[in-house]
Structure 1
Amino acid sequence: MSTKDYLEKDYYKVLGVPKSASADEIKKAYRKLARENHPDANQGSPEKEAKFKEISEAYDVLSDAKRRKEYDEARTLFGSGVGGARPGGGGGFPFDFGDLFGGSNQQGSTSDRIGDLFGGIFNRGGSGGGGSRTTGGATRARRGQDIESEVTLSFTEAVQGTTVSLRLTSSQGCAACSGTGAKAGTTPRVCPTCEGTGAASRNLGNFAFSEPCRDCKGRGLLVDDPCPVCEGSGRAKSTRTIQARIPAGVDDGKRVKLKAKGAPGENGGPAGDLYILTHVKPHPVFGRNADNLTITVPVTFTEAALGAEIKVPTLKGMPVTVRIAPGTRNGQVQRVRGRGVARKDGTKGDLLVTFEVVVPKHLDDKARELLTEFREATAGDDPRAELIEKARSE
C-alpha cells in the first residue's frame, strides 16, 4: 500500500467511531465488527474477509496510544490533500514522498523525522520489514502478514494462564519454487521499471508519491515462466498448528499479541504477528472485577448477628477461614488478600467476599418460639425509624 493510501485511510470511519472516541469505545466497536465479519463466520465471502482485515488494521493503530497519536499527527500534517503547508500562503511544495521515507544521510534531518513518524504507525522500513532497499537491484525484504485467531477459555484458564493449540492458515513462501515464483529450472529477472526496488514514483501535480511498482506488484522481480503451484506469486497457503501461551489474567475480549507468530516474511523479512481474541466462559461460583475475584457467600442470621468463622472456597485452592464480625449486614464485603488474579509483576489481586444473609424458609416449633422471644426482646429497636423520619423531612 502506498503512503498516500495510508494517509487517506480514515481508521475512525472504518470502526464507526468519532476521532474523540475513548479506548473502550474503540475496543467495543472493533469487537462488534470483528464478530460480524470474521472469516470463520462468513466462509466463502471475500468481501467479509477484506472487511475483517481492514477492521483489524484500523484497530491495530487506534488501540495503541502511541501509534494512534502518530497517526493523528500524520493526518493533521498530510491528510488534507498533502498540501496544507505553504510558505507565505503561496503554492505547495513539490517533493517526492519517497524522499521522506527513503532515509537521508543528514543527521536529524526533516526526512528522517517524518520517516520515523510514519514508520511507527505503519511498520515501514528498518526491522519492521516495510521494504528497505538492498544494493545491486536485489529485492526488498517483506514483513509477513499478521494473523488473527480466536480462542474460548474457561474462567480458571483465563485467570491462571494456559497453553492452547491453534491451527493457523496463512500465506508463506511456495515450497515448489522456493518462493521465487518461477518454474523449477528457471529464475526470475529484475524488474526494469523499478530496477528491483519494488517501488515506483507517481506524479500528482506538485507532489509525487512512492508506491509499489505496478509491473512487478512491489516484488522487484518479473517471472517469465511462472511456477504452476503458486502461479508466479511465490506464495502459497499453508496450515500449521502452534502452541500459544495465553498469559495469566487475560480478560474476556482481550487481544493477546504473540510477536513473530504470524505469517512468515518474504526475502528474509520478519514474520508477522499473531493476534488472539479471547472469549472467557463464566464461572458458576466466582466472578471478576479487574484483578480481584468476587464470590457471594450465604450466612445464617445468627452468624451475621453474633459473628462466626466460616470456610470460603478459593479458585483452585484450599478454602480459607474468614471471620464474620458481629452485626454484619447483608451485602457487606470482606477482602481476602492475595487470592485474586495474577498480575504482571508477580503479585495477585484479592478475593472480595460478599455476605448474603439467608432467612430460613421453614421453622420448627422450637425455632419459632425462640425467634418470637427475640422479636419481643428487640421490639424497641425499629430499623425503619430513621428512614421514615428522613422521608417526612423532605
Structure 2
Amino acid sequence: MDDPYAVLGVPRTASEDEIRRAYRKLAKKHHPDLNHGDARAEERFKAVSSAYDLLSDAEKRRRFDAGEIDANGAERAYARRPGSSGWAGAGTGGTRYRRTDNFDAFADAGDLDDILRGMFGQGGARAGGGKGRDISYTLRADFRLATEGGETTVTLADGRSLKVTLPVGLTDGQTIRLRGQGERGPRGVPGDALIEVRITPDPVLERDGSDIRMTLPVSLQEAVLGGRVEVPTLLGPVMLTIPKGSNSGTVLRLKSKGVRNSTGSNRGDQYVRLAVTLPDPIDPELARFVEEWGARHPYDPRKGRIR
C-alpha cells in the first residue's frame, strides 16, 4: 500500500476527526455498493480502508510514523524491538491486534460481559496468586460484522489462532473476554485474553441505536418522476421506491432492515434520507429547460417555511 496519509489525502499532522472525515468521504465515493462492476473503484476502496485501519489506531500510527512498521502494518526487520511480539495478525481480513499491559483500559466490559459470561466463563480480576496475567488485544472489526455478529479468527502473540464469535449489536469499545487464553501463571493457571473491539465505520450506513440511517443521492429525474433505486442494507442490497415529487430531506423507511436485538428475534428499521443531486457540471440543455420552465411557472419554495 502507498503512504496511508497520501491515500486519504491528509497531512501527517491530521487529527483523528480529520482522518475519519477523509475516510468517510473517500469510502463513500468508491464504495462497491455504489459502483457496481467498477474494479478500479473497488481497489481504491480497499486502499482507503487499509489506510484508515492503520491511521485510526493510535499505536499503529505512532509506529508507522516512527518507521517501525510499513504501510501494510508489517514489522520492519531493522526496527523490531524487544517485546514487540505483542503484535499479532488476524486469520481473516488482514486485521491486526495490539497487545497492551494496560489492563485497566479493558477492565470494564459493560453489558457485553453479561452476554458472554455463559460463553466464555466468569472473570475480570487482575491476575493474582497462581493465575497468569490477563493479556489485552485490540480487534479492528468491520461495521457489518460487528453489527450483525459472526465469526472471526484471532492470532495471538504466541502464534495460537482462536475462533471468536462476535455477538450481534456490538458497539465500539466493548470487550470480549476469552477465559484461559492469557499467560500461564507459576502454577500453570492461565489468565484471560481481553479483546477490545474497535469498529471501522461504514462509509454509507450509520447506526442509531437499533436503527440504521443513510443518505441516498438521487437524480433530478428520479426525484421528479419517481423510480426504483437499489440501496445497501445490513442484509444486502434491496430496491427502494422513490415517490414522485420527492425533495431533498425526504426520509423513507425500510422496515426491519436495521440492527438485530441480542436474541435475533427483532430488527430495527433503516431510514433513507434523499439528497437530490444535480449533474456536475450542469448540462447546458438542462439549464435552458429550467430557465424557460421557471419563467412560465414561477414559485417560491421558501414561502411559509422561512420567516
TM-score range, shorter chain: 0.5 to 0.7
Q: Cα 1:339–1:264, aligned 2, differ >3 Å: closer, same or farther?
A: farther
Q: 1:382 to 1:159 in 2, by over 3 A?
A: same
**Structure 1 residue 336, shift from structure 2 partner:** 1.1
Cα drift, residue 276 of structure 1: 1.2
Identical pairs, percent: 27
Aligned mates of 1:363, 1:250 — CA distance in 2:
46
1:59 has 2:47 as partner: no
- 1:286 is the counterpart of 2:274: no
Q: Structure 1: how far apart are the matches of 2:215 and 2:172?
A: 21
Shift of the alpha carbon at 1:357?
A: 0.2
Of 155, 158, 164 in structure 2, the residue corresponding to residue 167 of structure 1 is 155
Deviation at 1:356, TM superposition (A): 0.9
| CA deviations over 1:242-282 (Å, ceiling 9, x no partner) | 2222333334433222333333466475x432211233334
Write the distance in 1 (CA, Å) between the matches of 2:236 and 2:124. Answer: 46
Q: How many residues align?
A: 214
Does 2:304 align with 1:258?
no
Deviations 1:340-391, CA, capped at 9 Å, x for gaps: 23331213332221211012344464x5564344313431x21234577x3x
Q: Unpaired runs of 5+ in structure 2?
A: 1-56, 64-68, 70-74, 87-98, 112-121
Amino acid across the alignment from 2:271: L
Structure 1's unaligned 5+ residue stretches are 1-30, 66-119, 132-141, 170-237
Which of residues 247, 251, 269 in structure 2 aligns to 1:333?
Answer: 251
Query: Structure 1 residues 257 and 300 mapped into 2: Cα distance closer, same or farther (>3 Å)?
Result: same
Work out whether residues 166 and 243 of structure 1, in 8 Å CA contact, stay in contact via their aligned partners in 2.
yes
2:166 matches 1:246: yes
1:310 paired to 2:229: yes
SS of residue paired to 1:371 = helix
What TM-score do you get using the length of structure 2 for normalisation? Answer: 0.53
1:188-267 correspondence to structure 2 within 5 Å: 239-264=159-184, 267=187
Superposition RMSD on alpha carbons, in Å?
4.3
C-alpha displacement of 1:330: 0.9
Q: Call closer, same or farther: CA 1:374–1:257 in 2, change over 3 Å.
A: farther
Per-residue deviation, residues 134-157 of structure 1 (Å, max 9, x unmatched): xxxxxxxx3332121222333333
| Matched-pair contact (CA < 8 Å) for 2:148–2:234 | no
The code of the aligned residue for 1:258 comes to L
Cα deviations by residue, 1:282-303 (Å, 9 ceiling, x for unpaired): 4444333343333322222343
Contact 1:61 1:121 in 2 (8 A): no
1:296–1:356 CA contact under 8 A, matched in 2? yes
| Structure with bigger gyration radius | 1
Q: Among residues 142, 148, 153, which one is paired with 1:154 in the alignment?
A: 142
Give 2:177's aligned amino acid. Answer: K
1:350 aligns with 2:269: yes
